[in-house]
Amino acid sequence: MSGTAWKYGDNVDTDVIIPARYLNVSTPNELAQHCMEDVSPGFVGSVRPGDVIVAGENFGCGSSREHAPLAIKASGVACVVASSFARIFYRNAINTGLPILECPEVVQDTEQGDQLRVDLEAGTIRNLRTQQTYHTSPFPPFIMRIMECGGLIPFTRQRLGGAERSSIDTGEGPGD
Amino acid sequence: MPHTIAEKILADHLKDSGRDAPSEPERELWPGDLVEVAVDVVLANDVTAPIAIREFANLGVDRVFDPSRVVMVADHFVPNKDIKSAEQCRVMREFARSQELVHYYDVGRMGIEHVLLPEQGLVVSGDVVVGADSHTCTYGAVGAFATGMGSTDIAVAMATGQIWMRVPETIQVVYHGELRPWVGGKDLILFTIGQIGVSGALYKALEFSGPAMEGLSMAGRFTMSNMAIEAGAKVGLFQTDEMTCSYLDARAARPYVKYKADSAATYSQVLEIDVGLVEPQVAFPYSPDNARPVGEADDVVIDQVVIGSCTNGRLEDLRVAAEVMKGHQVHSNVRCIVIPGTQRVYTEALREGLLEVFVEAGAAVSTPTCGPCLGGHMGVLAAGERAVSTTNRNFRGRMGHPDSEVYLAGPAVAAASAVKGRITGPEEVLLQAR
């Protein structure tokens, strides 16, 4: 998939991803109507399916609101690439099936409006302007399994069904 | 091998060992391990519970794992601020009733969750607590491994009584020296976050220790643990000492386990802070790590003051604010809103005459609610307005319009600023004739 990069700085907090004044609803499509509006008023009207949010350190810091990844996903964003993620957002994105990738090099080299091609399975990102390709470090196997199931609910449902009772593999990489 | 508090508590909660199988050999955990642990308490509120309940239904499970250990509190947008909020509260209320939750708190009996749960003795030392609210880390003050998560994690924890965790590295913060007058837990944690930054403890645990912590009140400890998340931390832990035990013994309905870190435990970083050098702090917009001594904020004129929240809504906080405000008037250009954290805090503040001090000074006193802290209701800011607030976040738009500003401070600075109409420390007010 490929799309336009929406570039942001460090410490993008969940209050600007989805302001609390809209948390009186919890349906993803309603939340998406206000995604990023306090820092990026043009985002909602211009974002297209397949676009990519590219941000610096500590993306998604602050509140635990799962409304944040739900709003981003429902707005059509295909993937968030950041230098690092706040730990609750990291879990929430994996649990709700919003693709995320950690790659400081991409963040450093990407400009607003660049076209990025993301291959989630291969963990690669290609910037079509610079023709540069980047490789991201893989997720720990346990987290990969949650992502492959489409999120924590299908993953847990499968386990509760007795299909799998194995313990967690310890792996390297960013955790929760 | 020597371990941190976080490693010890998680090891004792491994799902295949610990309490149910005491004969099993002790298992050690190290930072980076991914584990599944048993949870003692699961928490959600009126904003996060509706999604958790939806996902719980998607799991295909009928009953929560233990109705006495799933706690739900209506605190964010209550008393219902609008029809949509009322609908969300109804979803939570109906779930709580149908699941026969023992600890469900609604208007008139509720409190701000992180003031309420410790007060009611629902969270104790040695617990693993997961809550769909980022300030769940508050319970680190009573020695609980308590951490915020999203609604889907909470749905799974409600269903299974278990959660996956990555064992965190720990940063030890050691506080020495004597506190200056009017410096409390809020000033110490703002100063600390100012030192390490909002991502300084990302994915990690904070351990607050040192001689200056031994004398810090439980209220001060709750304030510090509460804001661990503002440095990106997963938990903000205190060692369980005599003060913790006397607090818990007066409240806890369950036995508890005391933990302390081994002196040879491995820390990813050790930070030493001389509290004698810490002045009352103010965190400028738009980040909690933008902390400066109150003297640097002297020319900031304000429109609103909020005293309360899960950070500073305890009786001790209200006492400090009342001590400063007593006999004075809130500045004519300022709206001051005081919000006791729970019904019990409200009652005790009433009995002590604190609420009378606030009302006579021209402040509004509210029933417990998170309301203004997140720009929900009960004190939303207009464009260009500035507030001093004892809450925990000053992100853009946090308390209302994206062009409004929030300055974070402790109750002494907040009360003094309410009187003067600009940001100032308490000395200036106390020197002034009443």
Chain B interface includes A61 (CB < 8 A):
yes
CATH number (3.30.70.870, 3.30.499.10, 3.20.20.10, 3.30.930.10) of B281-433 reads 3.30.499.10
Cβ within 8 Å, pair A66-B203 = no
pLDDT, tens only, B100-156: 999 999 999 999 999 999 999 999 999 999 999 999 999 999 999 999 999 999 999
Distance (Å, rounded) from C-alpha A54 to C-alpha A102? 10
Longest dimension (CA), chain B: 68
Whether residue B79 has a cis bond before it, omega within 30° of 0: yes
Q: What is the DSSP string of A92-136?
A: HHHHHT--EEE-HHHHHH--TT-EEEEETTTTEEEETTTTEEEEP
Q: Which of B33, B51, B398 sits opposite A26 (nearest CB)?
A: B51
CA-based nearest distance A23→chain B, Å: 6
Share the mean pLDDT of chain A. 92
Residue A170 to residue B165, Cβ atoms within 8 A: no
Q: How far apart are CA B314 and CA B336, in angstroms?
A: 17
Which residue in B148, B145, B217 sits closest to B186, CA to CA? Answer: B217
Task: Choose among A20, A87, A167: nearest Cβ to B375.
Answer: A20
Q: Which residues in chain A touch residue B287, judged by CB atoms under 8 angstroms apart?
A: 11
Q: Can you read off the two tokens belonging to residue A40?
A: 């990026």
Residue with the bigger pLDDT between A139 and A115: it is: A115
Tell me the chain B residues in contact with residue A70 when contact means C-beta distances shorter than 8 Å: 51
Q: What are phi and psi of B302, to 5 degrees?
A: -125, 160
Q: Do A66 and B150 touch (CB under 8 A)?
A: yes
pLDDT digits (tens, 9 = 90+) for A42-59: 999 999 999 999 999 999
Strand ordering across the sheet containing A100-102: A100-102, A79-82, A52-55, A2-7, A115-119, A124-127, A132-135
Interface test with B, best of A27, A39, A63, A67 (most B CBs within 10 A): A63
Within 8 A of A19 by CB-CB distance, chain B residues are 375, 397, 402
CB contact under 8 A, A20 and B398: yes
In Å, how far are A28, A127, B254, B287, B293 from A106, measured between CA atoms? 28, 8, 50, 25, 38
Amino acid B173 reads V
Chain region(s) in chain B for CATH 3.30.499.10: 5-274, 281-433
Burial status of residue A122 (CB atoms within 10 A of its CB: 0-12, 13-18, 19 or more): exposed
Using alpha carbons, select from B209, B216, B269, B280 the residue that is nearest to residue B427. B280
Please choose, from the candidates A112, A115, A90, the residue with its C-alpha nearest in 3D space to the C-alpha of residue A4.
Answer: A115
What's the pTM value of the predicted model, to 2 decimals?
0.95
DSSP string, A15-29: HHHS-GGGTT---HH
pLDDT at A157 over 90: yes
Residue B17 DSSP code: S
Q: Is A20 on the interface with B (CB under 8 A)?
A: yes
A66, A85, A146, A149, best to mutate vs chain B, most B CBs in 10 Å: A66
**B373/chain A closest Cα distance in angstroms:** 10
A137–chain B Cβ distance below 8 A for any pair: no
CB–CB contact A20 B133 (8 Å): no
- Residue A82 is classified by DSSP as E
Answer yes or no: do A21 and B375 touch at CB < 8 A: yes
For residue B378, the 8-state DSSP code is S
Whether residues B202 and A24 touch (CB distance < 8 A) is answered with no
Interface check for A57 against chain B (CB to CB < 8 A): the answer is yes
H or E stretch at B57: helix B49-59
Cβ neighbours, 10 Å, residue A99: 17
Contact A130, A101 (CB under 8 A): no
What b/e readout covers B368-388, taking b as 16+ CB neighbours within 10 angstroms? bbbbbbbbbbbbbbeeebbbb
DSSP B275-328: GGGPPPEEEPTT-TT-EEEGGGGTT-B-SEEEEEHHHH-SHHHHHHHHHHHTT-
Residues of chain B with pLDDT under 50: 17-24
| pLDDT at residue A138 in the model | 86
ipTM for the complex shown:
0.94
Give A162's contacts in chain B (Cβ within 8 Å). Answer: none
Question: Are the C-beta atoms of A112 and B258 separated by less than 8 Å?
Answer: no
Residue A58 near chain B (CB below 8 Å): yes
CATH 3.30.499.10 fits B5-274, yes or no: yes
Assess whether pLDDT exceeds 70 at residue A175: no
- The SS3 of residue A74 is helix
Closest-CA distance of chain B to residue A25, Å: 7
- Is it the case that residue A165 has pLDDT exceeding 50? no
Strand ranges across the sheet with B170-176? B235-238, B205-209, B170-176, B269-274
Amino acid at the residue A61: C
Selected residue of A23, A27, A167 to mutate for chain B interface (largest B Cβ count, 10 A): A23
**What is the rounded end-to-end Cα distance, in angstroms, of chain B?**
60
The reply to whether residue A157 touches residue B152, judged by beta carbons under 8 angstroms, is no
The residue assigned the tokens 């091998």 is: B1
Q: How many CB pairs under 8 A join A and B?
A: 160
Q: How far is A76 from chain B (nearest CA, A)?
A: 20
Task: Please judge whether A10 and B199 are an interchain contact, meaning their C-beta atoms are less than 8 angstroms apart.
Answer: yes
3-state secondary structure of B261: coil
| Residue of chain A whose alpha carbon sits nearest to that of B59 | A157
Q: Which residues of B touch A64 (CB under 8 A)?
A: 48, 131-134, 136, 148-150
Lookup: tokens for A145: 């399994």
What is the Cα–Cα distance from B389 to B190, expressed in whole angstroms?
13
Cβ distance B375 to B341 under 8 Å?
no
Q: Where are the alpha helices (DSSP H) in B147-268?
A: 151-160, 185-196, 211-214, 218-226, 242-249
User: Which of A103, A105, A108 lies closest to A85 in space, CA to CA?
Assistant: A103
- Judged against a pLDDT cut of 90, whether residue A16 lies above it is answered with yes
